[in-house]
Amino acid sequence: MPAQASDTTIIGGGVVGLCTALGLLQAGRRVTVLDGADGDLRASQGNFGLVWLQGKGAGFAPYAELTRDAVAAWPNFAAMLQDVTGTGLSLDQSGGFEFFTDPVELADFAADLERQQAYLGNRFSHEIIDGDKLRRMHPQIGPTVVGATFCAHDGHVNPLRLLRALRCAVLALGGDLKTDAHVTAVAEAPGGGFDLTFRDGTRHGTDRVVLCAGLGTSSLAAQLGFSTRVYPQRGELLITEKLGYRLPFLSSTIRQVDEGGIQIGGTKADAGPDDSETLDVMAGLARQAVSVMPALADVRVVRAWSALRVMSPDGYPVYARSARHPGAYLVTCHSGVTLAPLHASILADWLDENSNAPDLEAFDETRFAISDAA
């Protein structure tokens, strides 16, 4: 094995990889994080910043439970990061809305929330609000909105400050963070552990390896015997000028960032690795936002961008141990911000196989084989 060995090497320096590293460092492990280049496809630099429970896991109870635990852990997690790094994350968990202009879509989502309520019991609460009541609460809401759902547990955070704080925390706790580190091959080393080869031909040795590389995971996952293949889902965003007033609500598609601008999103498209913006989608985003809040028609859009979500075959997280290569792990999800507190805590026990490790069997990749067989 090459000389520069570490306990654990994490491939991927986004929110998921950094949170995993943070938890291991707090458990006393020696950790190296291998990050890519600025030009890579980075979900952590283009996400919406939601800390969201509403609707999560309506069809999969383990995911509903995991998300509820994560949302509840966010206040202490944000406080810890601020203590370690001095960076505030502008966390706000005062509740969030889902707005609907189609009554059928509202009824379908309300049914999802009832299923989620059945899973979580008194650990979850939600309201279904008709359009007239909604406009009495918030007169700014447009007349075409037929109703909304509300969950008091939902919130949002500044995602770029989160990313910065995680990088600073990993370094502050003694982690080794290597940038522009493109891993092209990973294999078991003759003397134990793993041998990683970089694009420039240099090598890195490690006792164990955790793949958290987002859309860069698949080729390396195959080398370690994992079957999960992630795929990109494109989401597009609009950013408005900074406003002199605060929006009276937060939704999963319209949020006001702490600097004052409005962020508008919510699109989903299977477009492969193409993260370019599309004019028709941008126009649709603007129309939908104005239908929810007509006053936004007079607000200027100053930026627009597209980013790629990291999706598993069923859309839920994957936490997997390699059966062929003990010591290799796969961690991937598209809710990295919401799940961040758990990735920075309980995953360390799972990776170390401690007696108090969480039961993550429901998230193993064997569920895809079972589904295919069925």
Give the chain's domains with CATH numbers: 6-50+160-230+314-373 (3.50.50.60), 96-152 (no CATH), 231-311 (3.30.9.10)
Helix (H, G, I), strand (E, B) or coil at 309: strand
When computed from its CA atoms, the radius of gyration of the chain, rounded to whole angstroms, is 21
Under 8 Å CB-to-CB from 307, ≥6 apart: which residues? 42, 43, 45, 46, 47, 234, 235, 237, 275
Q: To the nearest 10°, the Cα dihedral for 196, 198, 199, 200?
A: -130
Let me know: does 44 contact 20? Beta carbons within 8 Å: no
- Closest among 221, 174, 173, 183 to 2, alpha carbons compared: 183
In the chain (374 residues long), the average pLDDT of successive 10-residue segments reads 70 96 97 81 73 96 98 98 97 97 98 97 97 96 98 96 97 96 93 93 95 90 93 93 94 95 94 90 95 96 91 96 96 96 97 95 90 49
Return the amino acid letter for 101: T
Continuous segment of H or E residues that includes residue 205: strand 203-211
3-state secondary structure of 178: strand
Q: Is 330 helix (H, G, I), strand (E, B) or coil?
A: strand
Question: CA torsion angle for 225, 322, 26, 77 (degrees, to 10)?
Answer: 80
**Given this model, what pLDDT does residue 374 score?**
44
**pLDDT computed for residue 303 by the predictor:** 92
- pTM, two decimal places: 0.94
Residue pair 320/226 in contact by the 8 Å Cβ criterion: yes
Token pair listed for 194: 């793993």
Contact predicate 100/108, CB 8 Å: no
Whole-number pLDDT of residue 32:
97
Query: What is the dihedral angle through the alpha carbons of 50, 53, 58, 62, rounded to the nearest 10 degrees?
Result: 110
Closest C-alpha to 236, from 260, 206, 269: 269
- DSSP code of residue 272: T
